[in-house]
Amino acid sequence: MKTYNVAIIGATGAVGQQMKEQLEKRNFPIKDIVFLSSSRSAGKEIEFNGKVYTVQEAKPESFEGIDIALFSAGGSISEKFAPEAVKRGAIVIDNTSAFRMDKEVPLVVPEVNKSDLRLHKGIIANPNCSTIQMVCALQPLKELYGMTKVVVSTYQAVSGAGIDAINELKAQAADFDNAKEAEAKVLPVKSAEQHYPIAFNVIPQIDQFTENGYTFEEMKMINETKKIMHDDSLAVAATCVRLPVVTGHSESVYVELQKEATVDQVKQAMTDAPGVELMDDPSNQIYPMPLMTAGLDEVFVGRIRQDLDNPNGFHLWVVSDNLVKGAALNSVQIAEALIEENII
Ligand code: L14
């Protein structure tokens, strides 16, 4: 079997650690692996398949001989080093928002648009976590019934904002009586001046605001959904909200179909969809929740209801681990698809 030289950039981050775990768990055909990071995390040690590796500072030369480079160290690192990796013959799978809307860059969820991988020119973008889990549930409905409109509200975990945000939630949660005055340095946006506690709170802001009043996270969901599903005419609106959950994003999704469908048909579509698991049994209080889906691969869908005023409208509750299918697993599945399809 052919094996590959792999690099993980951002190896010590929340997503980087999960990328390492997915490669181990899925027995990815690795010849050699290097763990790269900013100078700040260089020197740390990482165990991979029983062997200890030292994290090295990313430099252009680090990509010499690399076949597949998995980037998750922030947009500016990707902008700087992804072209260097491509120049040296690597295929880059980038988990930041740096290249997602670039026309030359495929934006791929393998269950939805694997065939776009063939169009790559060196860089392939991994979509935003909230977008990935939503399109996994939407694509089968669009194929079967057509789709005109999507309205989503998210309930997002802090792990999307990194290890610092996880630690901040844990520290604040330890002190219920002082929650209101809790020290906050990370959320909603680390680089901003104003911060708010997340423990016992709900923050209707993820990423910075854009000029139209939507946040970048909301605009990412809107634009990426249209690109992945190849439908610029699909109406999409999003409201992205942070909750005091460590890992696992939840979404309330309202979708309007072109053709009429029944709840049973929508449930069947979820049962048949690759990567999706139906978890919908209200009589037994069965529906997905982030605590129960943490660490799992699938996108879980429950609470499926027909709209009471529009027979073509359906409401879905969609939950998945944002670090797994929302990030690391999707990146590794892209790499696996490149091998399966003889693209690499
Ligand atoms: O665009 O803060 O991939 O939860 C996803 C996680 C942006 C930040 C992306 C968060 C990131 C977001």
Average pLDDT, the chain: 97
CA 156 to centroid of ligand 1, rounded, Å = 10
pLDDT band at 283 (very low <50, low <70, confident <90, very high): very high
pLDDT value, residue 1: 86
Distance CA 108, CA 120 (A): 10
The ligand 1 site (C-beta within 6 Å) comprises 97, 128-129, 156, 160-161, 206-207, 217, 220
pLDDT value, residue 272: 98
Q: At what angle do helices 129-145 and 263-272 cross, to 10 degrees?
A: 120
Q: Which residues, including other chains, have CB under 8 Å from residue 283's CB and lie 6 or more apart? A: none
Residue having the nearest C-alpha atom to atom 11 of ligand 1: 128
pLDDT value, residue 22: 98
pLDDT value, residue 132: 99
For the chain, the structural domain boundaries read: 4-127+327-340, 131-321
pLDDT value, residue 176: 78
Distance CA 6, CA 85 (A): 11
Active site residue 136: no
Which of the residues 120, 195, 249, 315 is marked catalytic? 249
Determine the atom of ligand 1 nearest the C-alpha atom of 96. Answer: 3
Q: Would you list the DSSP string of 181-212?
A: G---SSSS-TTSS-----TT--B---S-B-TT
Mean pLDDT of 72-99: 97
CA 305 to centroid of ligand 1, rounded, Å = 29
Tell which residue, 38, 206, 184, 44, has the closest CA to residue 131: 206
pLDDT value, residue 54: 98
pLDDT, greater one: 339 or 179: 339
Q: Which of 71, 129, 130, 241 to mutate to test the pocket of ligand 1 (most atoms within 8 A of CB)?
A: 129
**Residue listed under structure tokens 């690391």:** 328
Active site residue 129: yes
Which of the residues 120, 129, 136, 240 is marked catalytic? 129
Mean pLDDT of 47-73: 98
Domains 4-127+327-340 and 131-321 share a fold: no
Asked if pLDDT for residue 177 goes beyond 90, the answer is no
Could you give the 3-state DSSP secondary structure of residue 176? helix
pLDDT tens readout for residues 129-170: 999 999 999 999 999 999 999 999 999 999 999 999 999 999
pLDDT tens readout for residues 198-225: 999 999 999 999 999 999 999 999 999 9
Residue having the nearest C-alpha atom to atom 3 of ligand 1: 128
CA 77 to centroid of ligand 1, rounded, Å = 15
Asked if pLDDT for residue 179 goes beyond 90, the answer is no
Which strand ranges, in their side-by-side order, compose the sheet holding 147-155? 235-239, 147-155, 249-257, 313-320, 299-306, 276-278
Asked if pLDDT for residue 181 goes beyond 80, the answer is no
pLDDT value, residue 65: 98
CA 312 to centroid of ligand 1, rounded, Å = 32
Distance CA 159, CA 186 (A): 12
Residue having the nearest C-alpha atom to atom 4 of ligand 1: 160
Determine the atom of ligand 1 nearest the C-alpha atom of 160. Answer: 4
CA 321 to centroid of ligand 1, rounded, Å = 13
pTM of the model: 0.97
Determine the atom of ligand 1 nearest the C-alpha atom of 127. Answer: 3
Could you give the 3-state DSSP secondary structure of residue 335? helix
- Please, what CATH class does the domain formed by 131-321 belong to? alpha beta
Domain 4-127+327-340 CATH superfamily: NAD(P)-binding Rossmann-like Domain (3.40.50.720)
